[in-house]
Amino acid sequence: MRQSFRVYFLIAEPRPDGVVAFTPAKAQELSGLIIVDANPTHYRRIATLKSGDDFARYLAQLGLPLTFDRELVAGDSAPLRQSFDLGNFRIGNRFSILPMEGWDGTEDGRPSDLTIRRWGHFGESGAKLIWGGEAVAVRHDGRANPNQLLSADHTASSLADLRRVLVSAHEARYDSTRDLLVGLQLTHSGRFSRPNRKDRLEPAILYHHPLLDRKFGIAPDYPCLTDAQIGGIIGDFVKAAWRAQSAGFAFVDIKHCHGYLGHEFLSARTRPGNYGGSFENRTRFLREVVDGIRRDAPGLDIGVRLSAFDLIPFRMGSDRRGEPEKFDGRYDYAFGADATNPLEIDLSETFQFLDLLDGLAIRLVCISAGSPYYNPHIQRPALFPPTDGYEPPEDPLVGVARLIEVTSRIKARYPRLSIVGTGYSYLQEWLPHVAQHYVRTGQVDFVGLGRMVLAYPHFADDVLRGAPLDSKRLCRTFSDCTTGPRNGLVSGCYPLDPFYRAHPDAELVKAAKQKFRG
């Protein structure tokens, strides 16, 4: 039965002068559309919402049902400080650090000093669930960039050392690590692989995508991975999981998000053979990876970070605003989208996939959406785009609310799954208030922190202690952490982190932004 999820958020009416004006009162009537304000100056910065009344009024103005607690609870009874039982392991609180790559490993796949610094900050953060640290490629040709970490025999000891840095930093600050759960995210970058040069795509594709092939210059006769090649990649995932267990990681994340290989399997409806077409075939990759891990690394827990929904790719319009790509006919290339209207979410197969995870006894699930390569506003809401990105086609609060609403629906349907929510960093000062509400009401188990901890590594600790937030460290979504990698530089918070402000790449990031602005 089709499970259509109507996206109720911003309904707009075009005027003759081309401006699009919001009419929130029509949200119930036209709930399936994602149409947005054409004037970004209408988007209020979060820092200007000084009181709970301000925040509530603005949410109401946008027609968003996002809810928050006006007062934060302090002390041992604080919802975000509560432990969480994951089988026979008790995780110490409800904050999770999401995987963040720095494009700063060595060419042979080992951590650099920058990588080690970042992982030390993850340990100091106060969060008790470390979701994967960062994406680690299971083979060289599946790296997203030539400086991505790599799981291989020659990197095994350095990855173990990286985990020890994180755990030692946590122990030094908080005395104990008995309630700290640390995983490693395993990935193959698929059609977004750039293993040898940052400016050269070397894609590994499962099928030809009519929009993404054109967008990224993939020729119609470019070869797709064969079933035999996929079998080899599955073996590499299993070997990488065994290495992770040997290095002391408690779980591995089999990455199924953001357009990378695991995610592309889920939309491979047009692919022939054992790994495409039917839902059973499109999930065969996951099942075979899980079978191999449980055979070769018994006792290692498994998680999945999932793009629970996708939409049609967006492009930069003539005014630099994001707009959906044009496509006629049925759109069968997005997992979690309505094929008859790819601007509408359809969770039917998402629920099937979560049923599968439940049946495989995979309890750790992190919910994301879309891809940073072709529709980042639904995955990583931000007011300011990176240099190669489009201006937000909707108030970023819409993207936050969409992610939180979908996650809430998933948690309600799958109470046995341990759900990590994402998209919170854009909330800035109001992040603790929203996080507390959704954890307190059982609509999510863990609140994921990504960009926020780059400049403010102790954000979670400050919230858990009831300390005032350092407003000068709050992520304002300037997107320099993405602009850097998109220009072949390392990732970091150049505007707010004094360390990266003084880094040699800071001037190059600044120059790239000035060139973009023309």
Rounded Cα distance, 416 and 73, in Å: 26
Task: Say whether both 224 and 248 belong to one domain.
Answer: yes
Q: Which has the minimum average pLDDT: 29-38, 76-85, 292-301?
A: 29-38
List, for residues 57-71, the tens digit of each pLDDT value: 999 999 999 999 999
pLDDT over 70 percentage in the chain: 92
Task: Say whether both 190 and 295 belong to one domain.
Answer: yes
Task: Say whether both 506 and 421 belong to one domain.
Answer: no
Q: Which has the minimum average pLDDT: 1-15, 257-271, 367-381?
A: 1-15
Confidence of residue 518 (pLDDT cuts 50, 70, 90): low
Rounded Cα distance, 399 and 62, in Å: 12
Residue 46 domain-assigned (yes or no): no
Tell me, what's the pLDDT at 514?
87
List, for residues 419-459, the tens digit of each pLDDT value: 999 999 999 999 999 999 999 999 999 999 999 999 999 99
Which has more confidence, 41 or 137?
Answer: 137
Task: Give the residue-averaged pLDDT of 148-159.
Answer: 98
Task: Give the residue-averaged pLDDT of 50-55.
Answer: 98
Instruction: Flag whether pLDDT at 41 surpasses 50.
Output: no
Task: Say whether both 361 and 217 belong to one domain.
Answer: yes
The whole-chain average pLDDT of the chain stands at 92
Task: Say whether both 133 and 240 belong to one domain.
Answer: yes
Residues facing 96 on adjacent strands: 129, 448
Confidence of residue 516 (pLDDT cuts 50, 70, 90): confident
Residue 349 domain-assigned (yes or no): yes
Determine how many CB atoms are found less than 10 A away from the CB of residue 53.
10
Find the helix packing angle between 396-413 and 431-440, rounded to 10°. 20
Q: In the chain, how many domains are there?
A: 2
| Sequence-distant (≥ 6) Cβ neighbours of residue 287 within 8 angstroms | 356, 360
Task: Say whether both 463 and 499 belong to one domain.
Answer: no
Instruction: Flag whether pLDDT at 30 surpasses 90.
Output: no
Task: Give the residue-averaged pLDDT of 100-121.
Answer: 97
Instruction: Flag whether pLDDT at 248 surpasses 80.
Output: yes
Task: Say whether both 467 and 482 belong to one domain.
Answer: no
Domain of residue 325, CATH code: 3.20.20.70
Task: Say whether both 447 and 516 belong to one domain.
Answer: no
Instruction: Flag whether pLDDT at 12 surpasses 50.
Output: no
Residue 36 domain-assigned (yes or no): no
Instruction: Flag whether pLDDT at 383 surpasses 80.
Output: yes
Tell me, what's the pLDDT at 71?
98
- Sheet containing 4-5, strands listed edge to edge, beginning at the edge strand earlier in sequence: 4-5, 341-346, 337-338
Residue 54 domain-assigned (yes or no): no
Instruction: For residue 446, give the nearest of 71, 27, 131, 70 by alpha carbon.
Output: 131
Residue 110 domain-assigned (yes or no): yes
Domain extent at residue 488? 478-518
Task: Say whether both 259 and 134 belong to one domain.
Answer: yes
- β-strands 251-254, 181-187: how paired? parallel
Rounded Cα distance, 423 and 372, in Å: 13
Q: Which one-letter amino acid corresponds to residue 365?
A: V
Tell me, what's the pLDDT at 22?
30
Task: Give the residue-averaged pLDDT of 81-99.
Answer: 97
Instruction: For residue 311, give the nearest of 411, 214, 224, 378 by alpha carbon.
Output: 378
Tell me, what's the pLDDT at 17?
29
Tell me, what's the pLDDT at 63?
95
Residue 69 domain-assigned (yes or no): no
Instruction: For residue 303, give the nearest of 143, 445, 455 by alpha carbon.
Output: 445
Instruction: Flag whether pLDDT at 130 surpasses 90.
Output: yes
Residue 22 domain-assigned (yes or no): no
Task: Say whether both 500 and 468 belong to one domain.
Answer: no
Confidence of residue 35 (pLDDT cuts 50, 70, 90): very low
Task: Give the residue-averaged pLDDT of 323-336.
Answer: 97
Task: Give the residue-averaged pLDDT of 6-13.
Answer: 38
Task: Give the residue-averaged pLDDT of 172-193.
Answer: 98
Residue 73 domain-assigned (yes or no): no
Confidence of residue 42 (pLDDT cuts 50, 70, 90): confident
Task: Say whether both 432 and 508 belong to one domain.
Answer: no
Tell me, what's the pLDDT at 395?
97
Q: Which has the minimum average pLDDT: 22-31, 88-97, 283-292, 351-360?
A: 22-31
Rounded Cα distance, 372 and 484, in Å: 14
Which letter, b or e, does each residue of 145-166 get, where b requires 16 or more Cβ atoms within 10 Å of its Cβ? Answer: bbbbbbbbeebbebbeebbebb
Instruction: Flag whether pLDDT at 354 surpasses 50.
Output: yes
Instruction: Flag whether pLDDT at 204 surpasses 60.
Output: yes
Rounded Cα distance, 303 and 132, in Å: 9
Task: Give the residue-averaged pLDDT of 158-178.
Answer: 98
Instruction: Flag whether pLDDT at 398 surpasses 60.
Output: yes
Task: Say whether both 424 and 493 belong to one domain.
Answer: no
